[in-house]
Amino acid sequence: MNDDPIIEILELGPYFVNCYVVGDPESKRGFIIDPGWDAERIINFVERHGLKIEKIIITHGHADHIGALDEVRSHFGATVLIGEKDARMLADPSANLSTLADGQLSVDPADEFLCEGDKVTAGKFTFTVLETPGHSPGSISLYGHGVVFTGDALFLGSIGRTDFPGSSHETLLNSIKTKLFVLPDDTIVYSGHGPDTSIGQEREFNPFVE
């Protein structure tokens, strides 16, 4: 029996967004986190590994994390889940910030909303939703099996931007301190951009969180 989930990272697009493919190596059931760009690459990767994608999790509704959502969802017939307070961003180019890059990105609505304590499964592996607002009003993280997917809340040596509409520096710091920094030191942090880190390292050395 394999006691570890499949976790693969695809760095996508001009903003180098980390799209994660999470799966159960036995049942081959899984989900995708933040299909931000290059749907064909995501689809090809999943199919090469024979995974059945049942869900797509959006950590927050900014354009760089949802750019390939409609195409990937349509291909796999997957259910889309997002934090309720970010749900309107999917269809609103101003709210999802695509207008800042002279774009007009609008994608179809989510199928379900995620709240604190909800569970997301990939076969026998279960991850718990943590509400981590601040970078956006409805940002969420997923925690389980020694890892946490933080979207743009927490990075290696940095934190998410809070100069966007709906962002809040105070709220983000509170999310990091009360939802993420309470996790075990050895928890691997898989961020929305950049390399992975650990909760222990960020708690001790992150200069943006006192």
Pairing of strands 29-33, 52-58: parallel
Confirm if 105 and 93 have CB atoms less than 8 A apart.
Answer: yes
Domain total of the chain = 1
The CATH code of the domain that includes 18 is: 3.60.15.10
Question: Which structural domain, as residue segments, surrounds residue 88?
Answer: 6-205
Residue 194: its pLDDT value, please? 98
Looking at residue 101, what is its pLDDT? 83
Unique residue bearing structure tokens 């195409």: 71
Residue 37 lies inside a defined structural domain of this protein? yes
Q: Rounded to an integer, what distance in angstroms lies between the CA atom of residue 111 and that of residue 89?
A: 14
Q: Which helix (H) or strand (E) holds 201?
A: helix 199-205
pLDDT means over runs of 10, the chain (210 residues):
89 96 97 98 96 98 98 98 98 95 93 98 98 98 98 98 96 98 98 98 96
What is the tens place of the pLDDT at every residue in 19-29?
999 999 999 99
Residue 93 domain-assigned (yes or no): yes
CA 53/CA 161 separation, integer angstroms:
30
What pLDDT, on a 0 to 100 scale, did the predictor assign at position 102?
A: 82
pLDDT of residue 103: 87
**Side-chain-facing half-sphere of 121: CA atoms under 13 Å:** 4
Provide the pLDDT for residue 1: 58
Would 1 be classed as within a structural domain? no
Q: Is the dihedral of CA 171, 174, 175, 176 positive or negative?
A: positive
Distance CA 197, CA 56 (A): 23
